[in-house]
A and B are shown apart, each in its own frame.
Chain A
Amino acid sequence: MNAQQIDQQTLLKDEKDPLTHTPVHLLSLENVGKHYGNIIALRDVTMAVDNGRVTCVLGDNGAGKSTLIKIIAGLHQHDEGTLHVMGDARKFSSPREALDAGIATVYQDLAVVPLMPIWRNFFLGSELTSGFGPFKSMDVQKMKDITKKELADMGIDLRDVEQPIGQLSGGERQCVAIARAVYFGAKVLILDEPTAALGVKQSGVVLRYILQARDRGLGVIFITHNPHHAFPVGDRFLLLKRGKSIGYYDKKDITLDELTAQMAGGAELAELAHELEQLGGHSDALEEVKAEVAGVADAAPESPSKKH
């Protein structure tokens, strides 16, 4: 294992915001912790998000990923450590506050209302209005045009923005949610397991939008349990396990194999394979697990992302 952990001190000293060239992170967490009663959900987590960079948060179920994003998105407050936004220590008391600070979250369930047309969903909660006083009405045509244009910019060509959003595919809905966050001036975009429920092709589409959001200068936090999705698009990787950070790496310091091994716990998988063998499990299933353990070097280490 030659993966090199990012040291917090060097991180703060050397890393610069690539756009402003000031040594300030768009968003940074230092030793953040959270407990619910006597249950420690998260402790000692340190990470940073910068403009035009993708920070991946990896972890299995129950690793504390959700708790982490809930803290950043303003749904929960941290008990320990500090959360800095543009250098200021913050503690969000509501999602609205986080939104106002430029932190937009695309949740796993997407926060869209299936029965409502795409354009109504796109502007939900931030509708454009014209007129004043009690006669303030929505600028329907403008909202439809903007929706169409923004989605076209993201590469989604929709004929009819009047369609209920529930009729779109999972990937398309994900993209509408991302486009919405980008349009409403998000500086930090949190994506909660955007590829979890998607097929291979749809996942590819979503990963491409992540890169597009990055290229527009957003800082992206990409939460996933799939290192194959994280590695091609990520610049930094935070690995969580049982509420604790078990590693924080820069892309140049880690390979996909190492990431996979760290994340899924290569030792655990080997143990599982051994156990299954003893129990007389199906040989093809065993082969699969073994292949996973042996490393995923041949499983597509080639990154589809543009090198920058």
Chain B
Amino acid sequence: MTMTPTAAKPIAADERVGQRNPLQKLLGRPEVGALVGAVVLFIFFASVSQTFIQPNAFATVLYGSSTIGIMAVGVSLLMIGGEFDLSTGVAVISSALTASLFSWYFTTNVWVGVILALAVSLGIGLINGWILVKTKLPSFIVTLASFLMLTGLNLGLTRLIGGSVSSPSISNMDGFDSAQAVFASSVSIGGVDVKITVFIWIALVAVASWILLRTRVGNWIFAVGGDANAARAVGVPVTKTKIGLFMAVGFCGWILGMHNLFAFDSVQSGEGVGNEFLYIIAAVIGGCLLTGGYGSAVGGAIGAFIFGMANKGIVYAQWNPDWFKFFLGLMLLLATIVNLIVKRRAELK
């Protein structure tokens, strides 16, 4: 048995590792496929439609992106943590309904409803996560069940309390104006009205990126998604991390729910169904692996931006919006294939 690995090792290691140039390193990042897709899509719509690149239209694109992107932040983190959540679409509406129905029924200040809605949203995440870690069932089943239950609760309770399929208007109640200013106002930048959700979205992406890359919790999120057993063996609180991720998704859902409520003054109880897939699509386009352990918050944001561009771009290009879903499916396929190819090539070099 040769016992001189010290002499042979470094040379061999250098041969195999080599130096990667910065471009290759960049190509190894999870969100790069989405970035390429976003640039291509932007150039495409800019060339077919003059209005697309005008500031006002672009602000609208950003707004559309932000309503997906706010949720995509939480969903991306959750997917990196190895789980996903099918109840997000209706949970957003549950949050909005809680706020409006509670403050309407008890004629309280709407802020009371808003705070209660936060508790409900976090609670939904807590219950999802708790059932998941206790039963060890796949998140697909657990959250599919909560998706169905929440859909039913939204419709049933709204009719029971408000007597209609939509929540009653709360526009003349105390605190409505201040809540609207927080969740659904616009900021004028150089004569262009930019919705506040755009700023909330960017702030959330920044915070999520910081958590993911620079804090212990971020390390744990990657670890529980990459290999939960290994993480547990070295002392990572796996169950707390997973439950926390579901609650983070709940928090994002609360913000979007409040926006949906205060952008108007009532909420349709049957809304939200199907939106959960848009959030997952944004995260996947952004380079998050369905199997967990890999991805980024910025990627999810780019995914949401691609969604926003496609959604509004079709309108600005004056095509029939019927084509949108086809377009979305194609984008999803292309983006994930590009992701895969780019990642493989970057890792091979």
- Measuring CB to CB, which residues of chain A are less than 8 angstroms from any residue of chain B? 95-96, 99, 105, 107, 109-116, 120, 123-127, 129, 136-138, 140, 155-160, 163, 200-201, 204-205, 208, 300, 304
Contacts and interface: CB of A to CB of B under 8 A. Distances in A.
Interface stretch (B66-74, B163-171, B218-226, B323-331): B218-226
9 contacts: A115-B293, A116-B222, A125-B235, A125-B236, A126-B235, A138-B214, A156-B9, A201-B5, A208-B3
A120 B214 CA distance: 11
A156 B9 CA distance: 8
B342 interface: no
Given A95-B232, A112-B230, 17 more contacts: A95-B235, A109-B229, A113-B226, A116-B223, A123-B219, A124-B234, A125-B236, A126-B234, A127-B216, A129-B216, A137-B210, A155-B9, A157-B9, A157-B10, A158-B17, A159-B14, A201-B1
Interface string B1-39: 111011001100110010100000000000000000000
A111 B3 contact: no
Interface in B211-252: 214-216, 218-220, 222-223, 226-227, 229-236
Contact of B226 (A96, A107, A114): A114
Interface residues of B, number: 32
- Highest count of chain A CB atoms <10 Å: which of B9, B219, B294: B219
Given A120-B222, A140-B214, A157 B235 contact: no
B219 A114 contact: no
Interface string B140-176: 0000000000000000000000000000000000000
B222 A125 contact: no
A300 B219 contact: no
Nearest to B230: A111
Contacts of A112: 227, 230
B1 A200 contact: yes
Contact of B233 (A111, A155, A201, A300): A111
Contacts of A99: 235
Nearest to A112: B230
A120 B227 CA distance: 13
B215 A136 contact: yes
A46 B317 CA distance: 80
Contacts of A115: 222, 226, 293-294
A305 to B, nearest CB: 9
Contacts of B227: 111-114
A157 B231 CA distance: 25
Contacts of B5: 155, 201, 204-205, 208
Nearest to B233: A111
Given A96-B235, A111-B233, A156-B9, A124 B1 contact: no
A163 B28 CA distance: 11
Contacts of B210: 137
Contacts, number: 98
Chain B binding surface, main DSSP class: helix
B11 to A, nearest CB: 9
A105 B222 CA distance: 22
A228 B192 CA distance: 76
B14 A138 contact: no
A163 B17 contact: yes
Interface in B169-219: 210, 214-216, 218-219
B218 to A, nearest CB: 8
B233 A160 contact: no
A221 to B, nearest CB: 16
Contacts of A159: 13-14, 17, 19
Interface string B292-312: 011000000000000000000
Contacts of A113: 222-223, 226-227, 230-231, 293
Nearest to B14: A159
Contact of A155 (B6, B19, B222, B294): B6
Q: Which 8 pairs across A and B sit closest by C-beta, in order of nearness?
A: A113-B226, A125-B235, A125-B234, A111-B233, A157-B10, A111-B230, A127-B216, A137-B214
Contact of A124 (B19, B231, B294): B231
- Highest count of chain A CB atoms <10 Å: which of B6, B210, B226: B226
A46 B104 CA distance: 71
Given A157-B13, A159-B17, A208-B3, A116 B235 contact: no
B236 A124 contact: yes
Contact of B230 (A105, A109, A163, A304): A109
B226 to A, nearest CB: 4
A137 B218 CA distance: 10
A115 B219 CA distance: 12
A114 B289 CA distance: 14
A107 B233 contact: yes
Given A112-B230, A113-B230, A124 B223 contact: yes
- Highest count of chain B CB atoms <10 Å: which of A105, A113, A160: A113
A101 to B, nearest CB: 13
Contacts of A300: 1
A118 to B, nearest CB: 11
B226 A116 contact: yes
Contacts of A158: 13, 17
B214 A304 contact: no
Contacts of A129: 215-216
Nearest to B13: A157
A169 to B, nearest CB: 9
A154 to B, nearest CB: 10
Contacts of A204: 1-3, 5
A125 B214 contact: no
Contacts of B215: 129, 136-138
Contacts of B214: 137-138, 140
Nearest to A157: B10
Given A107-B233, A116-B226, A124-B236, A138 B219 contact: yes
B219 A201 contact: no
Contacts of A127: 216, 219
A110 B210 CA distance: 28
